[in-house]
Structure 1
Amino acid sequence: MYEFYQQQIGAIDAEIEQCLAKFPSVTEEPPPPSVKKNHRRKTHPPFDLHGHLYRLTGVDFTTIDGLHVVTVQTIIAEVGLDPSKFKTEKQFASWLGLCPGCPITGGKVKSSQTRKVVNRAATAFRLAAQAVSRSSCALGRVDS
């Protein structure tokens, strides 16, 4: 069964690569070499996803600490490349469910937790933030 599922995953990866190749290019120049360690992860597809994402967006999002190519793919797939869907950054953060709620009843704040949303982009941003918080970069550095 394991080998069968690996073949199915390989077939789906090939379909994803074909679909990515159909999208129009924003830039024709090759992507810059990745400055991060280029070790292959289990979730990393066997084709050049970094090159496809750079060709589609014209920006190398993987230079941002915490963002890996699969994370960037998830965010672009969920949010898209058109930021005009959201009037402000606040509306975007609210759509992601990253803003704290503030239900007040009787003058008392009942909870300040974020709302529960089923959104893969929000999960990807949360995982990226967690990765940055544990890294040794300037964003993850904590002074005591």
Structure 2
Amino acid sequence: MFNPIQIPFGCTMLFNVVDLKDGVSVEDVELVLGEMCNVVKNTYGDDNGGFIGGQVYRNAGFVSDEGSVDGGDSHPNKRVQQNMGDIVIVTYWQSFEQHEKSHADKLFKEKFAKLAEYCDNTYEVGYEMLWQGVPEAH
């Protein structure tokens, strides 16, 4: 469940931003989110399904001065507003088409609908990998 994942070059990454309703905490959706992720892992995690691996992150709210073109100046208190999403779900797939097929499946739709009940908004954006690397051994 918490094992490291290996991401093959050339895969497709989907970045899903989850904006929870006011008054809903990450803890409130942990079980629903876990069930949804488990369905993806166990149902679509083969060559036919195309799922490679994934990660879920909680918005910590900090902004990198060094990694921001404007030095983070557009965020005077150096905190990102929660309308940037409370959670992000990052998944890796062999292809975008396999992702779409899995997410059109009845089993996934049922789990995702339960999560959506707690959300003001979710959106998922796909990315194609251009580069990856690890530190060189010294």
Q: Please report the TM-score for the alignment, with normalisation by the length of structure 1.
A: 0.22
Higher relative contact order (CA 8 A, sep 6+): 2
Which structure has greater helix proportion? 1
